[in-house]
Amino acid sequence: MLCEECGKNPATIHYTQVQNGVATQMHLCAACMAKRQKGSDTMSSLISSLLSGIAGQQEEREQQDQLRCPSCGMAYKRFRETGLLGCADCYKAFADQLAPILGRIHGRRQHVGHVPPALRARVSAEQELERLRREMDEAVAREEFEQAAKLRDQIRALTAKQEPAGAMAKEGETQHE
Q: How far is the CB of 56 from another protein (least distance, A)?
A: 26
Backbone angles phi, psi at 112, to 5 degrees: -125, 0
Measured from the CB atom, is 118 or 160 closer to another protein?
Answer: 118
CA distance 54 to 96: 16
Per the rule left: phi > 0, alpha: psi between -120 and 50, beta: everything else, 17 is beta
- From residue 112 to residue 151, the character string flagging contacts with another protein as x (rule: CB under 8 A) and all else as - is xxxxxxxx---x--x-------------------------
DSSP alpha helix (H) spans, 10-144:
30-36, 40-52, 57-66, 76-82, 90-93, 95-106, 120-141
Positions 6 through 65 that interact with another protein (CB under 8 A): 16, 18, 23
Instruction: Tell me if 172 contacts another protein by CB under 8 A.
Output: yes
CA distance 159 to 109: 23
Measured from the CB atom, is 48 or 82 closer to another protein?
Answer: 82
Q: How far is the CB of 26 from another protein (least distance, A)?
A: 14
Binding test (CB under 8 A) with another protein, winner from 82, 121, 149, 153: 82
CA distance 55 to 27: 26
Q: How far is the CB of 34 from another protein (least distance, A)?
A: 21
CA distance 12 to 33: 9
- Per CB under 8 A, residues contacting another protein are 16, 18, 23, 71-74, 82-88, 91, 98, 101-102, 105-119, 123, 126, 169, 172-173, 176
